[in-house]
Amino acid sequence: MLKIEGLRAEIEGKEILKGIDLEVPTGEIHAIMGPNGSGKSTLSYVLSGREGYEITGGSATFNGQDLLAMEPEERAATGLFLAFQYPVELPGVGNANFLRTALNAQRRAKGESELDAMQFLKLARERMRALSMPEDMLKRGVNVGFSGGEKKRNEVLQMALLKPSLAILDETDSGLDIDALKIVADGVNAMRGPDFSSLVITHYQRLLDYIVPDRVHVLMQGRIVQSGGPELAKQLEASGYASVEAA
Amino acid sequence: MPAVTETIDTVAAVTSGTYKYGFETEIEMEFAPKGLNEDIVRFISAKKNEPDWLLAWRLKAFAMWKTMEEPHWPAVSYPQIDYQDAYYYAAPVKKQGPRSLDEVDPELLRTYEKLGIPLKEQAILAGVEGAGESPAEGRMPIAVDAVFDSVSVATSYKERLGKEGIIFCSISEAVQEHPELVRQYLGSVVPQGDNFFAALNSAVFTDGSFVYIPKGVRCPMELSTYFRINAKSTGQFERTLIIADEGATVSYLEGCTAPMRDENQLHAAVVELVALDDASIKYSTVQNWYPGDENGVGGIYNFVTKRGACRGKRSKISWTQVETGSSITWKYPSCILQGDDSVGEFYSVAITNNRQQADTGTKMIHIGRNTRSTIVSKGISAGKGQNTYRGLVKILPKASGARNFTQCDSLLIGDQCGAHTVPYIENRCISAKVEHEATTSRIAEDQLFYCRQRGLSEEDAVGLIVNGFCREVLKELPMEFAVEAQKLLQISLEGSVG
Ligand SMILES: Nc1ncnc2c1ncn2[C@@H]1O[C@H](COP(=O)(O)OP(=O)(O)OP(=O)(O)O)[C@@H](O)[C@H]1O
Ligand SMILES: [Mg+2]
């Protein structure tokens, strides 16, 4: 279970998260919606350990472990995965090499044997087929020259390979065409199970037609201001965030 | 897997701040007295039983050297070198013809072992009779010529190459066995008086490799040399001469390591390449001399003159270097593009960490028509390292249609290091085209975070990003060497972040 209590964080002296309380029980998928600049990405970065944020209060634990005390790679090894809103380009680093290095780093951390190049390729090809990704994307530099949609699919491919127990998807649906949206949603739904939980950050109810969330939370100005079932997303789609503020 | 790769696999286990090859081998050595004078030059020549012309050649070089001054233009600084306080000749005492590994000096074998050289090659290197006949099973044959201090200990696969008419031996041996070739080409690319260090080398060189590929022959295996500085206070002055006759092709690998010491050691090698019509020479170096400690104490002064002459039409010389070691590197592998349509290439990765200094680059001299050159330089600075790319592209009036493309990229890690790019372009031909691109970048925080979020440690992330930055150069290396180089890059940068 992911448990966030009274979490406060600032960047460059500016408070962005102003006391977040949120629980995602194991096996559930929760959606987070909220206006631009409300702190959704900030929350995902703080949970995954990006530098530059000062935690000024509160706590965040995952299955009882203090996330905030760990290095980013340690959080990854405990099963936390972040699909970036803006996936980063690594020029000259082959995608296959990157994926295998990451996968093996995590396998090592878990005391599992590393995959050799052949074993890895077999696995990667299988997962790519499921995501309708052309195989040449393995050879290209990580995200280099990828279209917006290809980058997002590459994030989902990484998730499918790394098999996290907690996945934070930061606007993974933005920039996807209808078919891609469905493919990506299938990718997430395939992970669904008693040991998998997810925080899905999105601006669009549309995604939630495919990935039906257990709970929906509204993040505004650094606080969760409303929570509800899937119907909350539909309501927001109809009347916008103004209605929440009024509430 | 060849010796080099295995060597580096062992290196990968090293932790921060240590240098894997920092061991010293205790074998019986024969030294010439310390210091440098005409008598020492004569002593070396006599020890090697050289013909009179070569002694005269050395003495001429020595006379020139005495009138020359160390170059001061490179962007490196170091205390005055006392040339009289070094040994110019050190050789393992020969125990003739061991018949099995048991008879070989165990210290020597231990050294090979530490270098990661597999047993089969160890036997060949140690000169065990009959050991070089067939290549070790299951691996691509690589011919190895190990230079153990000044004397080439043994040459492997000589017979196999001999069948093709290829000569691959130590230069001392070539002086005895093929004096006409040595006399014709020695100093024809780098003359004795070319520069201070080349003159010094010409006077006192003790060994190195010699390669001759006859007309139309494609060398069936990579040729490889380990250079190893071992004895204390020994300068290493190898002399390498590679000749590819018309239509010949060869790929040559040079790998270097040196023991760890507090004092600085001088390495002043000269490499000369000659490519005749339609010949092609690929020369790859992975240089991993001891870089000194994090305070800049000790380490190798790597002052090397490497030059290739594309004498023939359509000939090609390609330099690829990965420079991770040495406290100071001063080297400019160059091409003289004399033959029409000849091609020169220079692919370089130079890393400076801690207090290392590198001033490296190339010279492309376009003389013939339609000559082409490509320069790709990747400089990486970390810690307090200083990295300078210095390159000259010179196009003479008759080189119509000549082309050069230069790309210099610098990557900075941390804020105490420096990168400098000094390109000189002299174009005296209107139909020639010269292009230069340069970039300077840092490893971005978001790149590091992206990798770490996927489970990579910070150091692995830096290694991955740096290898990506160098990819264009690393892909030029022969496969097995590329693996080694990638690991070395990562090891060289250990402790540079965090
Ligand atoms: N380095 C920074 N310095 C100052 N302010 C920052 C910095 N990074 C983010 N912010 C601010 O923090 C606030 C929250 O940003 P965040 O990216 O978390 O929003 P978001 O909810 O993800 O928005 P979007 O829906 O547009 O992705 C914004 O006002 C942003 O400008
Ligand atoms: Mg965002």
3-state secondary structure of A141: strand
CA-A35 nearest atom, ligand 1: 25
| Reported confidence tier of residue B486, pLDDT bands at 50, 70, 90 | confident
Q: Beta strands B372-381 and B403-412: pairing type?
A: parallel
Q: How far apart are CA B77 and CA B416, in angstroms?
A: 17
* Nearest CA among B213, B228, B198, B195 for reference residue B114: B228
Helix axes B52-67, B196-204, angle to 10 degrees: 150
Average pLDDT of the segment spanning B189-217: 92
Do B225 and B255 touch, CB atoms closer than 8 A?
yes
CA-A45 nearest atom, ligand 1: 18
pLDDT attached to residue B221: 80
For residue B459, being part of any structural domain is answered with no
**Complex ipTM, two decimals?**
0.96
Which of A40, A47, A168, A221 to mutate to test ligand 1, by most ligand atoms within 8 A of the CB atom? A40
Question: How high does pLDDT run on average in chain B?
Answer: 77
Average pLDDT of the segment spanning B193-218: 92
Task: List the single residue in A90, A93, A105 with the smallest CB-CB distance to B455.
Answer: A105
For residue B105, being part of any structural domain is answered with yes
CA-A34 nearest atom, ligand 1: 21
Residues 10-49 of A with CB under 8 A from B: 48-49
Q: Do B460 and A105 touch (CB under 8 A)?
A: yes
Paired tokens of B456: 């990579």
Tens digit of each residue's pLDDT (9 = 90 or more) over A37-88: 999 999 999 999 999 999 999 999 999 999 999 999 999 999 999 999 999 9
Instruction: Supply the pTM of this predicted model.
Output: 0.78
pLDDT attached to residue B326: 67
**B439 close contact with A: CB closer than 8 A:** no
For residue B123, being part of any structural domain is answered with yes
Paired tokens of B288: 């991993």
pLDDT attached to residue B8: 34
Domain span holding position B106: 2-445
Tens digit of each residue's pLDDT (9 = 90 or more) over B333-368: 999 999 999 999 999 988 877 777 777 889 999 999
| Reported confidence tier of residue B489, pLDDT bands at 50, 70, 90 | confident
Instruction: Please say if the pLDDT value at position B224 is more than 80.
Output: no
| Residues in contact with B465: Cβ distance below 8 Å, sequence separation at least 6, in sequence order | A90, A93, B443, B447, B448, B451
| Reported confidence tier of residue A217, pLDDT bands at 50, 70, 90 | very high
Size of interface A-B (CB pairs under 8 A): 78
The percent of residues above 90 in pLDDT, for chain B, comes to 37
Number of domains in chain B: 1
| Reported confidence tier of residue B155, pLDDT bands at 50, 70, 90 | very low
pLDDT attached to residue B154: 40
Task: List the single residue in A72, A89, A106 with the smallest CB-CB distance to B449.
Answer: A72
Tens digit of each residue's pLDDT (9 = 90 or more) over A116-167: 888 899 999 988 888 888 888 888 899 998 988 889 999 999 999 999 999 9
Q: Tell me how close the Cα of B228 comes to any Cα of chain A, in angstroms.
A: 33
Instruction: Please say if the pLDDT value at position B148 is more than 70.
Output: no
Any ligand 1 atom below 6 A from CB of A36? yes
The DSSP element (H or E) to which A161 belongs, if any, is: helix A148-162
Cα(A40) to ligand 2 centroid in Å equals: 5
| Reported confidence tier of residue B131, pLDDT bands at 50, 70, 90 | very low
Instruction: Determine the Cα angle at B83 with ends B78 and B87, to 5°.
Output: 120
For residue B485, being part of any structural domain is answered with no
| Reported confidence tier of residue B75, pLDDT bands at 50, 70, 90 | low
Residues 103-132 of A with CB under 8 A from B: 103, 105-106, 109
Q: How far apart are CA B237 and CA B239, in angstroms?
A: 7
Cα(B157) to ligand 2 centroid in Å equals: 63
pLDDT attached to residue B105: 61
What's the count of helices (H) and strands (E) in chain A, helices before strands? 9, 12
Paired tokens of B61: 């070089």
Q: How far apart are CA A224 and CA A23, in angstroms?
A: 11
Q: Do A72 and B452 touch (CB under 8 A)?
A: yes
Q: Into which CATH architecture does domain A2-91+166-246 fall?
A: 3-Layer(aba) Sandwich (3.40)
Q: How far apart are CA A170 and CA A214, in angstroms?
A: 17
* Nearest CA among B301, B348, B297, B298 for reference residue B323: B348
Q: Which of B87-101, B103-117, B180-194, B217-231 has the highest mean pLDDT?
A: B180-194
pLDDT attached to residue B480: 66
Any ligand 1 atom below 6 A from CB of A48? no
For residue B478, being part of any structural domain is answered with no
Tens digit of each residue's pLDDT (9 = 90 or more) over A12-50: 999 999 999 999 999 999 999 999 999 999 999 999 999
CA-A219 nearest atom, ligand 1: 21
Cα(A37) to ligand 1 centroid in Å equals: 5
Q: Do A102 and B454 touch (CB under 8 A)?
A: yes
